[in-house]
Amino acid sequence: MDFSRYFEFAKGNTPVILSCPHGGYKKPKRIPDKLFGPLIADKNTYFIAKLIISLLKVNNVRIFYILNKIHRSKVDLNRPSQSESAFNPTSIEAKTIFHSYQELLNDFAQECVSNYGRALIIDFHGYTKPYREYPDVIFGHIFGKTLDLLEDSNKQECKKYWGCSQLQTEISKYFKMDDGLALTEHNLSYSGGYITQQFFKKSQMNALQIEVAKSIRLDFKLTETLVKAITNAVVNLIPKK
């Protein structure tokens, strides 16, 4: 099967994987719409993911990535396959897309661990703030249950974990954040969806869902700032020679 019809994906030279499941824009008529669940895409997440990948390449860093091209009204890759909100059960193609994405993401994670001894999975999403004081960016990792690799055991909260530490350090310079480790009124709904949950207590892997407010995703200058922050965080993950 030609997966390039459904996903944009590639392997990299550093153990970081970027997943973007809800930014898809294609609505093939042959794939029936879902009968239940959210039908709206996370606007601009596909575009932002591409900017991150491109800026990293400028810094001679190539990450693993898989970006879904199919619209969320057809397939929701962040729901369990048995859920009626994942895809229309009458569509074999939708079911194939769903399972192929999960398998490819897992294969990338296993390859990173095999080749580099570790893997950081970033699942990139968007949400809308219900009110102004809400965080700009929310991390989700089932309150630390999908974080296995330590950065510094002497540090507190997110700073303890490889990947989470670097991302928080850079993003928090510019945006209000919730690091997802303590239960708050903000992060319960964004503590990590189906994709992140697949890496629950997986050895040598850190997985986190990053939710970015719509107000950032629709503002090019703020988007540019976010892209630079995430890029700097990934570059800082690479051991200095």
For the stretch 135-163, pLDDT in tens is 999 999 999 999 998 887 877 778 889 99
Strands 137-140 and 205-213: antiparallel
Given a cut of 60, whether residue 177 has pLDDT beyond it is yes
User: How many CB atoms sit inside 10 A of residue 151's CB?
Assistant: 18
* DSSP state for residue 98 in the 8-state scheme: H
Q: Tell me the pLDDT of the chain averaged across its residues.
A: 94
Lowest-confidence pick of 6-20, 74-88, 185-199: 185-199
The pLDDT of 43-55, averaged and rounded, is: 98
**Could you tell me which residues are beta bridge partners of residue 18?**
65, 122
Give the residue, 65 or 185, on which the prediction is more confident: 65
Helical residues (DSSP H) of the chain, grouped into ranges: 45-58, 92-116, 164-171, 194-197, 214-217, 220-237
Query: What is the structure's pLDDT at 93?
Result: 97
> Is the Cα dihedral 37, 144, 15, 170 positive or negative?
positive
Query: What is the structure's pLDDT at 241?
Result: 57
State the Cα–Cα distance between residues 81 and 99, nearest whole angstrom. 8
| CATH code of the domain containing 31 | 3.40.630.40
The pLDDT of 218-226, averaged and rounded, is: 98
pTM for the model: 0.96
Per-residue H/E/C for 42-54: CCCHHHHHHHHHH
Query: What is the structure's pLDDT at 235?
Result: 97
Query: What is the structure's pLDDT at 65?
Result: 99
Exposed e or buried b per residue across 187-200, where buried means at least 16 C-beta atoms within 10 angstroms of its C-beta:
beebbbbbbbbbbe
Query: Which residues, other chains included, contact 148 with Cβ-Cβ below 8 Å and sequence gap of 6+?
Result: 201, 202, 203, 204, 205, 206
Query: What is the structure's pLDDT at 155?
Result: 79
If one counts the domains in the chain, the total is 1
Given a cut of 70, whether residue 1 has pLDDT beyond it is no
Given a cut of 60, whether residue 26 has pLDDT beyond it is yes
Question: Which residue range(s) make up the domain with 177?
Answer: 3-237
The pLDDT of 33-62, averaged and rounded, is: 97
Give the residue, 239 or 100, on which the prediction is more confident: 100
Band (19; pLDDT cuts 50, 70, 90): very high
